[in-house]
Every structure is written in C-alpha cells, then in structure tokens.
Copies of this chain bind each other. A is one copy, B any other.
Amino acid sequence: MTKKLLLKDIAKLAGVSEMTASRALRGAPDVSAKTKAKIEEIARSHGYVPNRIAGSLSSQSVNLVAVVVPSLNSFVFPEVLSGISAVLKESPLKPVVGVSGYDLEEEESVIREMLSWRPSGLIVAGLEHTEATRRMLQQADCPVVEAMDVDGDPVRHCVGISHLQAGREMAEQILARGYRSIGFIGTKMPQDFRARKRFDGFTDGLAAQAVTLADLEHYSGESSIQTGRQMTAQMLSRSPDLECIYYSSDVMSVGGLMHCLAAGLSVPGDIALAGFNNLQILQGLPLQLATTDACRHEIGERAARIILKSRETGGAEGLVFDRLTPAISLGETL
C-alpha cells in the first residue's frame, strides 16, 4: 500500500533513464547484461509491476485474445478454452474470457467491451449474432474466428462441426438399428442455436426414412442430470411404447440412464438412449452412452492457431473455413 511505483522511480533508483529501465524489464535488446541485472533486481525487490495500460497504448499492441462463450457451467466451453490456452501457451498471447449467457444482446455488449480493449484476436462461439455484432466483427482490426458451428454464414474465419449433420447422422444410426418409435428431449433455450440445429438435423434424418418423432419435450433452464432424469420419467410414462430417446446433451442422457436404472428398465432392451458432446462424465457410468464427439478441444486449438497464423501473416492469408467431422460412438445404449 505504499506510494504508486512508476517506471521513472525504478529508473531513478537504478541511475538510468526510463528508456533503459523499460528495455531491461521487457527483455528488449540494447541493454548490457550488467545494467539489466541491476534494474531487474531493483524492480523485483520493490515489487514493481509495470503498467500495461500505458505500455499497450504506447506500443499499440495488446497480447490478449478475447474469447466469448455462452456459459462456463456447461462442461463444454471450458474444454474449448483449454484447447485455446494450450495453443496460446507457446505464444505471448493470453486468452481472456467473456460470458454471453446464451443471449445475443448480452453477447453484443460483451464483444463491444472486449473489442474496446483492442485485443490481438477474437474467438466467439457460434455464427448467430445481432446485426451490430456482425458489423463489429467485420470492422475489428484483429483476426476474428467464429467457432463450434459451421452451419451458417461466418463473418470471417470459422472452425467447427455441423450440428445439422450430427443430428442427422444420429438419426440414421438409430434408424439403422431398427428403432422406429423415437423421442427427443431438448432445451427450450431459444438462443442455443446449435442444439436447435441438432434437433432439425435429427428430424430431417428421420423424415428421410418417413419416420416422425413419437414424442418431444423441451425443458427450460440449464441441462442437468436431474432434469434429464425427470424429463425421461415423464416422457416414458406418457409414451410407454417409446424405443429410443435422443437428447440434446450428454448431461441429459445421463439423467435418462439414471431414471432407467432406478426404474429397473434395461438399456437398450427396454429403451435406447443417445446424447451429444462426448463429455467426460460419460466415462465411468454403468453403461457407455451413445454420443457424438463435439471436438471441443480441437476446435479450441484450431481457432487459436488461426489467430496466431493470421497475426504472423498480417491477415493477408485469406479466410479459413474449417469443418471438422465429429465421430459418433454408439456405446452400449443403442
């Protein structure tokens, strides 16, 4: 809580100019090893922390990458983040996270806030934005990546998987195994566009073989095991003839499995189950649940690499459109 310590103070203490002190502390060249050591020692012992606000303004560079995701509770985005961090670790860049809460208006204000710090890059989940957000993404003088989804019209770079296709493929797999009476349990959240696309892809896939959903339920609030269990119980009591349920998230399908365990239903004998994401929590359960891997870590890695490369080349590299193919794992519940 002592007086504010400035570079000028350190310089004075070391008997050098501000410039030399600045260079020494940044590891810039043109400083002799001796004076550098001296300056570092003084700075360290006095607990000097350089003011990066001033530094960034002056150098016109901010070594931060803005990452905007809908939520941090949902198991899925932290893993995208860890992919990003892993790649950025080898560079001077650091990720900074913003949370939009599955709300496009909030997303707009979060992105505006982040861009006002002039980051070196921006990674945002999803392709759906307000018009004002799209304008900002276009105008931004840093690389911009829209991640996780490829079904839509990206403003600039894009990495992700097709959720439409993921839904469709799961439908095909389910039909291929002979199930015909099929239910769907998904989020009501109007702005979870990727869940919506999986739903659309799924019903498309069914329709292609002239099958329509036997039952359908939407829940509000975040996905949870608890909710999955309740919804499943509800749906099965309403539609006892159901042969298979597809959930918009693994968390929900785990809940479904829990209901079946409690109700003494055999899976997939009495009822087949499938989810989406291939979350970590699927490991270690009594049964290996069917799911589609969402490539979360890899999407994060690739998004970060796009930022890095675009920085090197000065953005003259052309736009990346990177569509990953998610792998279905059938597990033991189909």
User: How many copies of the polypeptide does the oligomer hold?
Assistant: 2
Q: Is A32 an interface residue (CB 8 A)?
A: no
Contact B139 A1 (CB under 8 A): yes
Contact B284 A224 (CB under 8 A): yes
Contact indicator per residue, chain A 217-245, by CB within 8 Å of chain B (1) or not (0): 00000001111111000000000000000
Contact indicator per residue, chain A 107-151, by CB within 8 Å of chain B (1) or not (0): 000001101111000000000000010011011010000000000
Contact indicator per residue, chain A 273-294, by CB within 8 Å of chain B (1) or not (0): 0000000110111100000000
Q: Is A255 an interface residue (CB 8 A)?
A: yes
Q: Which of B115, B138, B229, B286 contacts A1 (CB 8 A)?
A: B138
Contact A283 B85 (CB under 8 A): no
Contact A224 B49 (CB under 8 A): no
CA distance A56 to B51 in the complex (A): 11
- A56: which B residues are within 8 A, CB to CB? 53
Contact B78 A1 (CB under 8 A): no
- A262: which B residues are within 8 A, CB to CB? 286
Contact B136 A49 (CB under 8 A): yes
Contact A224 B116 (CB under 8 A): no
> Contacts A78-B78, A85-B99, A97-B97 known; A47 to B139 CB distance under 8 Å?
yes
Contact A284 B116 (CB under 8 A): no
CA distance A333 to B136 in the complex (A): 53
Interface residues of A in 40-65 (CB under 8 A from B): 44, 47, 49-54, 56-57, 62
